[in-house]
A and B are shown apart, each in its own frame.
Chain A
Amino acid sequence: MTNDRIVEIADFIARYLSFMLGAGVHTSRVVRNSKRIGEALGVGVSIYTSQKTATLTVSVPGSSQRDTRVVDIPAYPISFEWNADLSALSWAAFDKKMSLEEIRGRFDEIVSKPKMNPVFVLLMVGLANASFCRLFGGDIWAMLITFTATLIGFFTRQHLTKKKVNHYIVFVISAFVASLCASTALSLGIETAEIALATSVLYLVPGVPLINGVIDITDGHIQIGISRLVNALMLIVCIAIGMSATLMLVKDSLL
């Protein structure tokens, strides 16, 4: 295998793993898939990951040829679609013995698929939070108020994220705005107003980083697992700050 070929393979796998890690896939899956693609192309792959960067070395078995890459992990939105499609790509590459050019072509197709319409996401998040409100015992008025409070909070989040505001600040502001809007239910005197208030910020809970953190730790990727849990914990603290501000303003206490 020529050195140029190894460089090409290393470049592609670096791109592949940065997209997967950026889209919120847990580390052991990324490592497994990258190694599988490497195996399909006849090279060995060793990977070290951290929260912001990943290092990989591509080597030819039985030879001293190797190439190392250090890549930044971009912050893409969580994408279960990329997770599933890119994992399937690694299996297709392995089973069908695809060439690097074919794999790269399929990869480009997957990552250039159209993005979700933000208005669709906005509505679905609102409906999801209203459903949570119902699950926790909220009545129809509490559900309606949770729905619109979530719309306002999530739209604020989308808008501030587009303006590239620090995401911890985005979480504090979004939690504050959503919970404050939901607290208007208190003035109506409805019985389930507090359920509306509590469920209005659930859309911010960082579920994927929490689950990935636990999976990473149990799979032995302790460092990145702890990094992800600390990141998730910081976001939860931000939600708590935003919600506490509302509670102090509205009820003059945190309970």
Chain B
Amino acid sequence: MDAFWNSIALYNEATWLWQLVFVVLSAALAIVLWVRPCTWAKIAVKVLMVLESLWIAFVYYMKFCGIREHSNVMTIFWCMVAAAWVYDLATHFSSFQKSGKHVSWGVLMLILPLLYPVFSLIRGMSFPEMTTPMLPSGVALYMLGMLMTFNRKINFFAFIFILHWAFIAISKIRLFNIPEDALLAAACLPAMFIFFGEAAERACAGSSKPSVRAVKTLIFFVVLLIGICMVASYV
């Protein structure tokens, strides 16, 4: 656990200015996409997603978390997340357009990464040994927020990678004493219900079985089961 928090402290101390640039850029692009959605903004957001994924892969995991066992796995994993966004750039998988649904959820999720340092400060931690929005879970939460806010057609590949990361984060809450990751855990379960439900509706455009209602019920119970498992493992 010490190695975990020491690596975060080293990372924050050395890269706080870069992290600030990323946060400002992320916020600015989210606002531009909200106010004036245009092609360049959509492409810029996808490029930003690639850059943030590669930043986490190479700067955070490869450079600052090298002392941790199996940190190379995480580097490869985040490269795969970056690959999912590059694929999106090439194939226009996601449209980054508002659909009018779940907007308040999306906005809430976009704000949540900013609560990471607040949460740490409330826990009595201080800079540099504290969480920031540019840690993997904060970045995953930002991606989830962007997918939720601009959800007309989402990058499902990126979403399930984020979901996988969220489940890793859930286990880290107890294993590495990082309760801030509960924010990502709390956000990922409703997102799972919404995105899987919408994917089931889209897949049912012709006719398929079981009915969309039955699939949504199954998704609800899976989400509920995961939530119960999470709570039960901490009680």
Contacts and interface: CB of A to CB of B under 8 A. Distances in A.
Interface of A: 113-120, 123, 127, 140-141, 144-145, 147-149, 151-152, 155-156, 159, 177, 180-181, 183-190, 249-250
A113, A127, A140, A159 interface centre (most CB from chain B within 10 Å): A140
Nearest to A149: B164
Contacts of A117: 200, 203-204, 208-210, 212, 215
Residue among A148, A185, A189 with most chain B CB within 10 A: A148
Contacts, number: 106
Contacts of A180: 73, 76-77, 80
B170 A144 contact: yes
Interface stretch (B37-45, B110-118, B154-162): B154-162
A144 B200 contact: no
Contacts of B215: 117, 119-120, 123
B215 to A, nearest CB: 5
9 contacts: A117-B209, A127-B222, A144-B226, A148-B163, A181-B77, A183-B73, A187-B68, A187-B69, A250-B73
A141 B171 contact: yes
B74 interface: yes
Contact of B168 (A116, A120, A159, A184): A184
A155 B77 contact: no
Contact of A120 (B74, B170, B207, B210): B210
A188 B209 contact: no
Interface in B206-226: 206-210, 212, 214-215, 218-219, 222, 226
B120 interface: no
Contact of B73 (A148, A152, A187): A187
B71 interface: yes
A189 B69 contact: yes
A181 B162 CA distance: 11
Contact of B171 (A115, A149, A188, A249): A188
Contacts of B160: 148, 151-152, 155
Interface string B32-68: 0000000000000000000000000000000000001
A84 to B, nearest CB: 15
Given A144-B170, A144-B171, A123 B157 contact: no
